[in-house]
């Protein structure tokens, strides 16, 4: 199957990730471009005048719009059972995220509702959210467990994610976030909880049924210490799961350095990162993933994105979509927030949501770029210039979503 996409106003030729520092805003833009897909892979791209001649099985007219790589949402908690809109309203009245958490809400609230739901409920509730994410341009989405907090409820969540990945026309990457918080039945006994959640039977099941690719921990005061996080990630790693870390979100804990030490694919959040942490990331292959939707949604200072880009780091962005700290499904909106809160340019944000997010999922050699041989995961946009995407806040310009060369039907 050979497809020609012609009449492309701007082809944003994002190179293979990780794209570091200054190069993030120097991505080539080809005006009046075309692109050829062969067998689901990008086979050629360049000036329309130089496009190879047919025959083609399919011709798509981009009508002067931009073409970009499909977006990669590399950090979400989108499988959950119930909203927490009440907490949203409480925060308007002055309560903080941490106060709500300490009063038994927060992650524990989502834990209670997820435990009461069936695997099938989780699939049914999550499908419309994921469909909206795809309509917003996401062609690869990472999803974490972490609201079950018992072996059975974590497995239920991971199996729901697997069913979703068999149902949806995009790729899902699954993460075991067993160490999200200590559940109430283990109050005051975090080490016992960690022993239960790294039980050999559980980790063997996750490995043998290929239920997760990554393991993640919330390393934070009130959740898990550095030493506990290391223990959790090391146990998961010995069962083939690649580490990821929720790091320096509410306080500076040293979790970024732990992420580097254990060879994590990414360290995520990083609001309280310091110079030492930036230096550690620089000397590593761990991708810094920023989640400014949280700062928009619950407040607090954002991560020092400019400083990190100036330090030549390959910064990635994600939604962190979850019912508590960031009920945002749209990476387009995240790019707008990255512009205003993080002072990232539209091109930097696009690279952060494509090539660098792909690197945070260890898929940079296959997705996230306009590169010959890469999966033809592409978006055709209704805008002639890329900066119009974050500029038109809350407007979705995605007209056509293509996954591995196939046009996805979006409702």
Stretch that binds ligand NIG, among 104-112, 117-125, 343-351, 354-362 (CB under 6 A): 104-112
- The DSSP result for 275-300, as a single string, is HHHHHHHHTSSPEEEE-HHHHHHH-S
Give the nearer residue to Fe ion in terms of CB position, either 142 or 320: 320
410 CB-contact burial (10 Å; exposed 0-12 / middle 13-18 / buried 19+): middle
Stretch that binds ligand NIG, among 11-19, 60-68, 321-329, 336-344 (CB under 6 A): 321-329
Q: How far is the CB of 282 from Fe ion (least distance, A)?
A: 23
- What CA–CA distance (Å, rounded) separates 168 from 75? 18
Q: Residue 251 to residues 248, 305, 348: CA-CA distances in angstroms?
A: 5, 17, 26
**Using CB distances below 5 to 8 A depending on partner kind, what does residue 137 bind out of Fe ion, ligand NIG, none?**
none
Out of 17, 254, 292, 324, name the contact with ligand NIG by CB under 6 A: 324
**Using CB distances below 5 to 8 A depending on partner kind, what does residue 249 bind out of Fe ion, ligand NIG, none?**
ligand NIG
**Using CB distances below 5 to 8 A depending on partner kind, what does residue 157 bind out of ligand NIG, Fe ion, none?**
none
Out of 218, 239, 272, 296, name the contact with ligand NIG by CB under 6 A: 218
Residues in contact with ligand NIG, shown as a per-residue x/- string from 280 to 319 under the rule CB under 6 A: --------------x-------------------------
Helices 190-197, 226-237: crossing angle, 10 deg rounding: 10
Tokens in use for 1? 């199957």
Out of 284, 325, 330, 349, name the contact with ligand NIG by CB under 6 A: 325
What is the three-class DSSP state of 111? helix
Give the residue closest to ligand NIG by C-beta.
Answer: 324
Residue located via tokens 């199957």: 1
**Using CB distances below 5 to 8 A depending on partner kind, what does residue 324 bind out of Fe ion, ligand NIG, none?**
ligand NIG
Residues in contact with ligand NIG, shown as a per-residue x/- string from 244 to 263 under the rule CB under 6 A: --x--x--------------
- What CA–CA distance (Å, rounded) separates 64 from 61? 8
Q: Residue 288 to residues 173, 276, 292, 357: CA-CA distances in angstroms?
A: 18, 14, 13, 9
Tokens in use for 250? 């509410």
- What CA–CA distance (Å, rounded) separates 355 from 366? 10
Residues in contact with Fe ion, shown as a per-residue x/- string from 288 to 327 under the rule CB under 5 A: --------------------------------x-------
- What CA–CA distance (Å, rounded) separates 206 from 212? 6
Q: Does residue 110 belong to the site contacting ligand NIG (CB under 6 A)?
A: yes
Judged by CB under 6 A, the chain residues 34 through 93 that form the site for ligand NIG are 77
Nearest to 130 by CA among 179, 175, 163: 163
Nearest to 357 by CA among 11, 68, 46: 68
Q: Does residue 214 belong to the site contacting ligand NIG (CB under 6 A)?
A: no
Size of the site for Fe ion (CB under 5 A): 1
| Contacts of 182 by beta carbon, 8 Å cutoff, 6+ apart | 189, 190, 193, 223, 224
Size of the site for ligand NIG (CB under 6 A): 13
**Using CB distances below 5 to 8 A depending on partner kind, what does residue 304 bind out of Fe ion, ligand NIG, none?**
none
Q: Does residue 320 belong to the site contacting ligand NIG (CB under 6 A)?
A: yes
What is the three-class DSSP state of 406? strand
- What CA–CA distance (Å, rounded) separates 96 from 293? 16
Footprint of Fe ion (CB under 5 A): 320
Footprint of ligand NIG (CB under 6 A): 77, 106-107, 110, 218, 246, 249, 294, 320, 322-325
């Amino acid at each position: 199957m050979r497809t020609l996409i012609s009449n492309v106003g701007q082809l944003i030729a994002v190179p293979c990730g990780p794209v570091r520092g200054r190069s993030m805003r120097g991505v080539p833009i080809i005006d009046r471009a075309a692109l050829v897909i062969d067998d689901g892979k990008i086979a050629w791209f360049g000036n329309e005048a130089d496009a190879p001649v047919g025959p083609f099985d399919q011709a798509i007219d981009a009508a002067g719009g931009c073409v970009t790589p499909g977006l990669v949402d590399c950090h979400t908690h989108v499988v959950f059972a119930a909203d927490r809109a009440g907490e949203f309203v409480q925060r308007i009245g002055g309560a903080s995220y941490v106060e709500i958490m300490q009063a038994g809400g927060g992650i524990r609230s989502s834990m209670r509702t997820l435990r009461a739901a069936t695997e099938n409920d989780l699939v049914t509730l999550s499908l419309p959210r994921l469909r909206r994410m795809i309509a917003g341009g996401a062609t690869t989405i990472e999803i974490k467990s972490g609201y079950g907090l018992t072996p059975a409820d974590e497995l239920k969540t991971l199996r729901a994610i697997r069913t979703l990945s068999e149902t949806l026309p995009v790729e899902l990457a699954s993460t075991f976030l067993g160490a999200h918080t200590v559940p109430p039945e283990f109050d005051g006994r975090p080490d016992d909880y960690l022993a239960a959640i790294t039980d050999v039977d559980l980790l063997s099941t996750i490995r043998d049924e290929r239920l997760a690719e990554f393991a993640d921990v919330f390393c934070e005061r009130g959740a898990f210490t550095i030493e506990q996080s290391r223990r959790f990630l090391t146990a998961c790693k010995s069962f083939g799961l690649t580490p990821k870390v929720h790091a320096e979100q509410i306080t500076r804990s040293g979790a970024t350095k732990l992420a580097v030490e254990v060879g994590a694919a990414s360290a995520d959040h990083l609001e309280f990162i310091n110079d030492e942490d930036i230096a550690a990331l620089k000397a590593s292959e761990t991708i810094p993933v920023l989640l400014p939707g949280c700062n928009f949604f619950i407040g607090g200072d954002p991560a020092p994105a400019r400083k990190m880009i100036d330090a030549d780091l390959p910064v990635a962005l994600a939604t962190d979509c979850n019912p508590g700290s960031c009920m945002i499904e749209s990476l387009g909106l995240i790019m707008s927030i990255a512009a205003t809160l993080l002072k990232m340019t539209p091109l930097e944000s696009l690279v952060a949501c494509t090539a660098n997010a792909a690197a945070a999922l260890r898929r940079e050699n296959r997705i996230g770029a306009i590169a010959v041989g890469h999966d033809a995961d592409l978006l055709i946009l209704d805008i002639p210039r890329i900066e119009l995407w974050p500029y038109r806040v809350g407007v979705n310009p995605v007209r056509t979503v293509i996954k591995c060369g196939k046009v996805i039907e979006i409702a």
